[in-house]
Structure 1
Amino acid sequence: MTDRIAIITGAGSGIGRASALALLDGGWSVALVGRRQDALEETAALATSDNSLVVPTDVTDPAQVDALFAKVKSTFGRLDMLFNNAGGNVPQTNFGDFTFEMWRKVCAINLDAMFLCANAAFRMMRDQQPRGGRIINNGSISAHNPRPGSVAYTSTKHAVTGLTKTIALDGRQYDICCGQIDIGNAATPMTAKSTEGQLQPNGQIAVEPRMDVNHVGQQVAFMANLPLESNVQFVTIMATKMPWIGRG
């Protein structure tokens, strides 16, 4: 597996870090991508191998995304997997009070950046020899059902599902797979408020269970290690007792 090359966005913390470490420990070479160089270097230092490349990048900026993929190509020569993981949100806000500025902030990272990175990865995988590769998009359980006050996050995660399906279809002729992992309440800084109480659809505030983020990293590694003849199209991994299944 030492000749397998991956890019992971949002690799400086949380799900991105856990996934990067799972791949690095499994023999992959990984380009660690995120805005903060110090966080990326911290991820690299936690790995049992030194097969990482730290590439600070704002993935909402087309020029920086182009530079990222040029750097990976010049360093490794090819790309076998992109984990399109970077994402963000704004505080829960009722739809009537949601502003266009809030909408654009979430769309820029959750959808525009997803497109930019997947598009660049697709072209690189299509044109390299041997051709092909795998793109894994980070969805969310919000790709299925919304939380209250989450119009931009929910809308973008529904859109990621459409992006995943289109890439999977258009990539067939080039041996490019695309799948999506939908994650519920992994223990990361982004879900810290779950331990204090989350607004539920019935208006109550409830503490929600979380799961070890390394379980997500292991799932991403499983998907990445499949041969290109096989694809996990959609998978949901979530804290078993989180209030989602059966939520009214």
Structure 2
Amino acid sequence: MERFKEKVVIVTGAGSGIGAATARRFSREGAMVALAGRTADKLEREAAGLPPLRTMTHAADVADPRAVDALVRAVLDRFGQLDVMVNNAGIHHSGQPDTTTDDQWRAVMAADLDGVFYGCRAAIPHLEKTGGSIVNTASVSGTGGDWGMSAYNAAKGGVVNLTRALALDLGRRGIRVNAVCPSLTRTGMTADMMHDEPLIAKFTERIPLGRVCEPDEVAAVIAFLASPDASFVTGAMVAVDGGLSASNGQPAQG
């Protein structure tokens, strides 16, 4: 299956986790892929297994709008067009609201929300030319609250409604905008949690499919949303959560 043959895709946060899995997925489906992230070495390691003529890396901090603009220019210089923008980069901070510092709050907002807006804004004129699409990585933490994660919840909630607003603004310009909302996923960001068996048991008890999500499973949904198979889908928040959001929060009976 080569749904993205001769298409150009940017994936931010592509040095690990969901971003790396997404870059691999698009590449397998024939795309020319630009892996973007803050750490060049991580990007190069992920790109090493991909076809060199269809792959590039570019170190950029999505919290810096000038760096995001430079990323898009570099991709256009290399591949000549842009068809899909995947805004996946993000960070996480846990803590009580009254102990969250200004710097911690701003760092999460800058990476998780500002960076998504900058990526969308930089991509729009080029996606308009190709009839392309945007897929943002939101979270179930953007559709409901968590304990001790106020900054992350606020940022991901912003991504959710930004995605909806952009779908309205850009639909008549031929650009679709959607988001994925994963639940707990096995990535470097969650590695410490994965070793805490009692904690993981609490998570999996709440998830109808009974396990955590794998990055490839999120990547598959991102690829679907960016593909012609989703040609009449825009403004959607697709839960990739094993059924977690289907629950009203009450415990299982029996």
State the TM-score, normalizing by the size of structure 2: 0.86
Q: Which structure features the higher share of helix residues?
A: 2
**Partner Cα separation in structure 1 for residue 185 and residue 53 of structure 2:** 26
Q: 2:77 maps to what in 1? A: 74
**Partner Cα separation in structure 2 for residue 101 and residue 229 of structure 1:** 40
Asked if the contact 2:25/2:220 (under 8 Å) is kept, the reply is: yes
Q: 1:60 maps to what in 2? A: 63
1:234 aligns with 2:233: no
**Partner Cα separation in structure 2 for residue 108 and residue 138 of structure 1:** 15
**Partner Cα separation in structure 2 for residue 44 and residue 132 of structure 1:** 27
CA pair 147-197 structure 1, distance change in 2 beyond 3 A: farther
Shift of 1:198: 9.3
CA pair 189-246 structure 1, distance change in 2 beyond 3 A: farther
Asked if the contact 2:140/2:245 (under 8 Å) is kept, the reply is: no
Q: Please give the secondary structure, in 2, of the residue aligned with 1:112.
A: helix
> Aligned letter for 2:150?
V
Q: How does 1:147-162 map to 2 (within 5 A)?
A: 147-162=146-161
Q: Deviations over 1:136-170 (max 9, x none)?
A: 01000001112111111000111111110111111
**Partner Cα separation in structure 1 for residue 149 and residue 197 of structure 2:** 12
Q: 1:210 maps to what in 2? A: 212
CA pair 210-48 structure 1, distance change in 2 beyond 3 A: farther
1:195 aligns with 2:198: no
Q: Deviations over 1:225-245 (max 9, x none)?
A: 2257422522111245x6983
Asked if the contact 1:211/1:238 (under 8 Å) is kept, the reply is: yes
> Which runs of 5 or more structure 2 residues have no equivalent in the other structure?
205-210
**Residue of structure 2 aligned with 1:12, choices 6, 12, 15:** 15
Q: Deviations over 1:1-23 (max 9, x none)?
A: 32101000000100000011000
Q: Percent identity?
A: 31
Q: 2:181 maps to what in 1? A: 182
**Partner Cα separation in structure 1 for residue 198 and residue 95 of structure 2:** 11
Asked if the contact 1:7/1:33 (under 8 Å) is kept, the reply is: yes
Q: 1:139 maps to what in 2? A: 138
Q: 2:32 maps to what in 1? A: 29
Shift of 1:197: 4.1
Q: 1:100 maps to what in 2? A: 102
Asked if the contact 1:143/1:157 (under 8 Å) is kept, the reply is: yes
CA pair 179-152 structure 1, distance change in 2 beyond 3 A: same
Aligned residues: 239
**Partner Cα separation in structure 1 for residue 176 and residue 169 of structure 2:** 9
**Partner Cα separation in structure 2 for residue 46 and residue 245 of structure 1:** 40
Shift of 1:61: 1.1
**Partner Cα separation in structure 1 for residue 19 and residue 112 of structure 2:** 14
CA pair 88-199 structure 1, distance change in 2 beyond 3 A: farther
**Partner Cα separation in structure 1 for residue 26 and residue 183 of structure 2:** 21
CA RMSD of aligned residues (A): 2.3
